[in-house]
Amino acid sequence: MDYDYLIVGQGLAGTSLAWHLHQCGKKFLIVNDSTRPAASLVAAGIFNPLTGRKLVKTWLADELFPYARRFYGELEETLQARFLHYINIYRPYRSVEEQNSYLAQTAEPGIGPYIQQPPANLPYNDYLYAPHGGLEVTGSGWVDLPLFLLKSQEYFQQGGQYREGFFNPDDMVLSGDTVEWNGLRIGKVIFCQGVDALSNTLFNWLPFNPVKGQILEIALDKYPIDRIVNQGIFILPDGEGKCRLGATYSWHDLDWETTEEGRQYLEEKAKGVLKVPYQVLKQRAGLRPSSKDRRPLVGFHPQFQQVGVFNGLGTKGVTLAPYFAANLVEYMEKGKDLNLLVNIGRYFSLYYQ
């Protein structure tokens, strides 16, 4: 066997999987076309344990977040780079009613550990519309994904585990329980293609539900807030007087182009949060590889067990990717069950239709 595994794509999913295989001492090769646009390079990389207007705890937060912190923290040491940033999230109350509702929720056992107690005195009134104050969420922050992916790519290149180029599934020969590709004999091929999976006939029957998102990079003069502000939109301080402001959600016009409509939406939302003027420096757009049930898509083809998929991470990929990469590797190497809520076996009926 030339390689135990071949990983197609070096976005967040493919990179997380590669690190877990590396830690197991497996022989693998990443094939990646860096000329293709990638959602991981556009995403803000925010991780937030409490989401939504009703302050709901993120799915599996108690398991995902500690694992992600260890994963990225250890890799910072390996790669000698800082890409994991811990920052609390400040959520201004929209009304007295919302203030009362949120404060009541902080007494709940599942919510309380993620709330700053006592609330910090944050004098932001000159910059934010926050007449009723706000709630501060802990255990949150962001990952500099472009830096993480770049440093990981350099590491794997030095180890001869990365190859630049386009991977065409039609070039594979599925023979017995192995794969032959370009003269190589491979144990398993795992597709981590993001939205490109829609054109892969092996897995395009899965219920992908791509979401287009746009963000603005803005300049704010002497902006003093060192938290992520979240009220309908997020404002993520990015150093040197710059912030990222986002994001839009669109299930139509699924391309990688920025739009004036997207910019207007974000600027209109910003009017309800920011009191101070800002300058738009850049606008970015990306396609998030989401699924219909908002759960990752992990597992192996119902007919060809040597071909697998790791995809559908959506907007919470920063914490989902490390945890379920570990689950997938334990399944492949140790026979541990895949989490039933992410196993693509839940959709096999679509393949046989």
pLDDT digits (tens, 9 = 90+) for 186-205: 999 999 999 999 999 999 99
Ordered domains of the chain (ranges, CATH)? 3-42+146-208+292-351 (3.50.50.60), 90-138+211-288 (3.30.9.10)
Question: Confidence class of residue 85 from pLDDT cuts 50, 70 and 90?
Answer: very high
Please spell the DSSP secondary structure of 322-336, one letter per residue. HHHHHHHHHHHHH-P
User: Picking from 14-23, 83-92, 200-209, 237-246, which range would have the lowest pLDDT averaged per residue?
Assistant: 237-246
Question: Confidence class of residue 109 from pLDDT cuts 50, 70 and 90?
Answer: confident
Which tokens hold the place of 65? 């977040």
pLDDT of 170 > 80? The answer is yes
- pLDDT on residue 120: 65
pLDDT of 257 > 70? The answer is yes
**C-alpha triplet 237, 240, 246: angle, nearest 5°:** 30
Average pLDDT over residues 166-186: 95
Q: What percent of the chain has pLDDT over 70?
A: 99
Average pLDDT over residues 164-189: 95
- pLDDT on residue 253: 87
Question: Confidence class of residue 228 from pLDDT cuts 50, 70 and 90?
Answer: very high
Average pLDDT over residues 3-23: 98
